[in-house]
Chains A and B, each alone.
Chain A
């Protein structure tokens, strides 16, 4: 994922279910057209929960990567 100054970073490391999902919902609401949200989570259940939430919420999951047991998700609002 290319560095983009427009990206918003949400750091949920250290939080358990369901906080990463709830904070992501709040952050996605604030996104403007074209902005990408990067969520960083250390909660292993995010790997399943986040895609499930995106599926149901009209949010596009662009990419998900695991870096040293931390999960990075890149999200944007679907058109």
Chain B
């Protein structure tokens, strides 16, 4: 995909660190790279955690009223059943988010959805430039050793310089 011979460019900001919000930037980035676009993703605030070696991004039913609760095992009618778990319960049980996350990850696996780690690796293989927010790293006390190889670090100007010439800019 090109503009007079130059590849099209896409600039993304990944600002959220829950599992469901981590997928869209990685799916778009890897696919754009496969479409021969040049891609840079700026990971900021909670989005920065997607790049951690021990990334453990979770889902939470809190403030996500549309989130289906599905069981990843059993016959298909059982798997497709949406469990009506009241927020008053899911919000107070310790470890509920971890439990819901493990169910969601298994459901993804059953349906052939790539894991975040796989997508992250595919992005790097396809030449996506991953930029971590230096300020976020400092604020949360992370160090460069906490992150996977191949990540660069920069600030707002790094992103804007790239985004100003990009054909697509999205804030996720």
Contact = CB atoms under 8 A, between A and B. Distances in A.
Contact of B126 (A16, A19, A22, A56): A22
23 contacts: A14-B112, A15-B112, A15-B114, A16-B111, A16-B112, A16-B113, A16-B114, A18-B27, A18-B31, A21-B31, A22-B30, A22-B126, A24-B34, A42-B112, A43-B112, A53-B34, A53-B35, A56-B1, A56-B35, A56-B36, A57-B34, A57-B35, A57-B36
A15 B110 CA distance: 9
Given A16-B114, A22-B122, A53-B34, 15 more contacts: A14-B112, A15-B114, A16-B111, A18-B114, A21-B31, A21-B34, A22-B34, A22-B126, A25-B34, A43-B112, A53-B35, A57-B1, A57-B34, A57-B35, A57-B36
A17 B1 CA distance: 20
A contact residues, range: 10 to 19
Contacts of B122: 22
A59 to B, nearest CB: 10
B contact residues, range: 10 to 19
Contacts of A15: 112, 114
Given A25-B126, A56-B1, A19 B34 contact: no
A18 B112 contact: no
A21 B122 CA distance: 11
A57 B34 CA distance: 8
Contacts, number: 36
A19 B126 CA distance: 13
A42 B111 CA distance: 11
Contacts of A25: 34, 126
A21, A22, A53 — most chain B CB neighbours (10 Å): A22
B112 A19 contact: yes
B30 A18 contact: yes
Contacts of A57: 1, 34-36
Interface in A13-53: 14-19, 21-22, 24-25, 42-43, 53
Contacts of A42: 112
A43 B114 CA distance: 13
A14 B111 CA distance: 7
Contact of A22 (B1, B31, B36, B113): B31
Contacts of A43: 112
